[in-house]
Amino acid sequence: MAYDDELANRIRELLADEPAVTEKRMFGGLAFLIGGNMAVAASGEGGILLRVDPEQGDTLAEQPHAELAVMRGRAMQGWLRVGSEALATKRELERWVRRGVAYARSLPPKG
């Protein structure tokens, strides 16, 4: 499944004023990186793949339509999948995107 172009455009619009944003095809989707660190991606599995503080991952995964991301058969702390059902409005999407941006900004820049 290809990532949702409309969702990618909505994310792009939210990040328009963010400095040091780059886009890269990753994890079967389109990732948005801040200073070289992935913040959020329009996922090829639908919805978004989001990078968050690993200490908050379990708590955030309790939100409706959110779960820890599973990669190669194991749950990954600090990575969430958020289903499209939780991203219908700009406000809903922005809430998640801002979390990913905040965490990516807290990491040392790459590169």
Mean per-residue pLDDT, 39-66? 96
- Indicate the SS3 state at residue 57: helix
Neighbours of 73 (CB within 10 A): 5
The type of residue at 4 is D
Tens of pLDDT, residue by residue over 77-87, are 999 999 999 99
What is the structure's pLDDT at 1?
A: 64
> How many other β-carbons are positioned within 10 Å of the β-carbon of residue 6?
9
Q: What is the pTM of this model?
A: 0.93
Average per-residue pLDDT for the chain: 95
Residue 96, pLDDT score: 98
